[in-house]
Structure 1
Amino acid sequence: MTDGSYDDQEAEVNGQRTAGGPRPRRGFWFGLVVAIVKPFMLLWTKQDFRGRENVPRSGGMVFVTNHISHFDPFVIGFYLWECRRIPRLLGKASLFKLPIAGRIITSAGQIPVYRDSAEAADAFRAAVAAVEKGECVGVYPEGTITRDPDLWPMTGKTGAARIALMTGCPVIPIANWGAQEVFASYGSLRVHLLPRKTMRVTAGEPVDLSAFEGRPITNELLHEATEVIMQRVAAELGVLRGQTPPKELFDPRKSEDGETR
């Protein structure tokens, strides 16, 4: 569907209702975010939202998505809200220190990630606790906007795989495309709202991690599971773009000569 028009019919996914039905209880602060973001998105962008039937209506879950722009968290948040879920995104701790905006996103239940500090594990514990409470937790496995020249997903960090294997929750691969046309993020700080751009988002079926279940959660296993997850995200993005993703994802840890940094 496009231009903010959505199909509110309900579907069944693994016994869970999806798509239509009543909105979840959002609280004041997340309600404030919705009140700001949704009218903006409907006014200034078009939407091509697909695969909403693959997002469970209830129960703990992790969704993983590609990162192409500073604008795409708004797109993904809007998409999940239209899936009748309240997303709890893991984000850089610096965002939570911004005046006003930091207070809002903190109060709205988003989860700060403190990298390379004694608090680095706090985000992981908070994410696991949220999933165990039946919440919808979002992870950007790349950790930053993609450096791939063609904007395909990069290799990912292992947090999402660890959360999923520890809790047994489903991992939903979500791909988005179009946010980079609003805000390129690299080379320019200009926002391009006109003409209105189409935000394309799709969610795939849960990633099959059965091959990793019941095994000791080692670094090697987590990297293998993460590769499976990121390949699914890339495949979903390929569908949106009508292109074939690369067989080997861009690895920012490798130098030009192929040696790992």
Structure 2
Amino acid sequence: MAELVYRPVIGAALTMFKALDLKIDLKGSEHIPRTGGAVLVSNHISYMDFIFAGLAARPQKRLVRFMAKDSVFRHKVSGPLMRGMKHIPVDRAQGEQAYAHALDSLRKGEVVGVFPEATISTSFTLKSFKSGAARLAQEAGVPLIPVALWGTQRIWTKGRPRNFKRSHIPVTIRVGEPVEAPKDQFAGAITRRLKDRVQELLEAAQRAYPVRPKDAEDTWWVPAHLGGTAPAPAKAREAEAG
């Protein structure tokens, strides 16, 4: 079936990135299979992560169907685009419908994108991973593809104004080797292994990132354990709970 919406949206995004002069550093895309189903799993630090995680699959000529909260599909602007790109709405009160939709897509040979932290991490560190991605991969018999993004929080993240200026922001994307999801293993064990792999990729992306904060006021996007002023994970959890 022709992709009447997805490919033009990709073209528009690439045009915007060129206008902003974003410096995208992508490595490891060869780990995404050219054919067949796979669950692409990424960390989540920005409202734009689905665009950049989707770009990771572009060299392999794959389109990623992301699972996203259903409110995005109800928005008058994003809703028609999300539906047109065949992304998967998630109603947390009826999660089984989204799970069944994603499973059907995987069995049809699609790549399904999942953010297992569920919400943006304001500490810019990994939050706990939900096991849904592992269970999907197990039931569909497909691999998990770990992805780490870094720098996207500097464009648009929770609690910060959008930066859509020509700011030359680097964005680092790292894709890792597939994580297998055998049906005879506990989903929790697979999820822990997957999170460890994403953590390794995230640290590699941070080491490769070519920019450091330019002054004391520019440390907000750097995690506390790396010397920045982003909230520590415990503080971020407290803020979310409150």
Deviation per CA, 1:98-140: give whole Å up to 9, x if none. Answer: 103201111210000001x2x3211100111001000010000
Provide the secondary structure at the position in 2 that maps to 1:27: coil
Residue identity matched to 1:31: R
Cα distance, 1:251 vs structure 2: 8.1
Deviation string, structure 1 residues 158-180 (Cα, Å, up to 9, x no partner): 11000011111010000010111
Higher helix share: 2
**Residue in 1 that maps onto 2:172:** 200
Aligned match for 1:179, one of 138, 152, 157: 152
Alpha-carbon distance between aligned partners in 1 of 2:30 and 2:161, rounded to the nearest angstrom:
35
Distance 1:192 1:202 in 2: 23
TM-score, structure 1 normalization: 0.76
Instruction: Indicate if the aligned counterparts of 2:56 and 2:175 stay in contact, CA closer than 8 A.
Output: no
Give, in whole Å, the separation in 2 of the partners of 1:66 and 1:199. Answer: 14
Paired with 1:251 and 1:106, the residues of 2 have a C-alpha distance of 36
Q: What are structure 1's unaligned runs of at least 5 residues?
A: 1-24, 216-220, 257-261
Q: 1:193 to 1:132 in 2, by over 3 A?
A: same
Matches within 5 A, 1:4-19: none
CA shift at 1:146, angstroms? 1.1
User: Could you tell me the TM-score, scaled by structure 2's length?
Assistant: 0.81
Contact 1:37 1:78 in 2 (8 A): no
> Amino acid of the residue matched to residue 32 of structure 1?
P
Following TM superposition, the consecutive aligned residue runs of length 4 or more in structure 1 with deviations greater than 4 angstroms are 250-256
Q: Of the candidates 74, 81, 84, which is equivalent to residue 61 of structure 2? A: 84
Query: Displacement of 1:199 after TM fit?
Result: 1.2
Q: Is the 8 A contact 2:143 2:178 kept in 1?
A: yes
Tell me, yes or no, if structure 1 residue 43 matches structure 2 residue 19. Answer: yes
Q: Where does the alignment leave 5 or more consecutive residues of structure 2 unmatched?
A: 209-222, 226-232
Report matched runs for 1:93-104 at 5 Å.
93-104=70-81
- The one-character-per-residue Cα deviations of 1:137-166 (angstroms, maximum 9, x if unpaired) are 00000000014x3x1211111110000111
Judge conservation of contact 1:58–1:134 (CA < 8 Å) in 2: yes
**Contact 1:57–1:85 under 8 Å retained in 2:** yes
Letter in 1 for 2:79: G
Q: Secondary structure at the match of 2:118?
A: coil
The answer to whether the Cα contact below 8 Å between 2:19 and 2:166 also exists between their aligned partners in 1 is no
Q: Alignment RMSD, CA only?
A: 2.5
Which AA in structure 1 matches 2:202? L
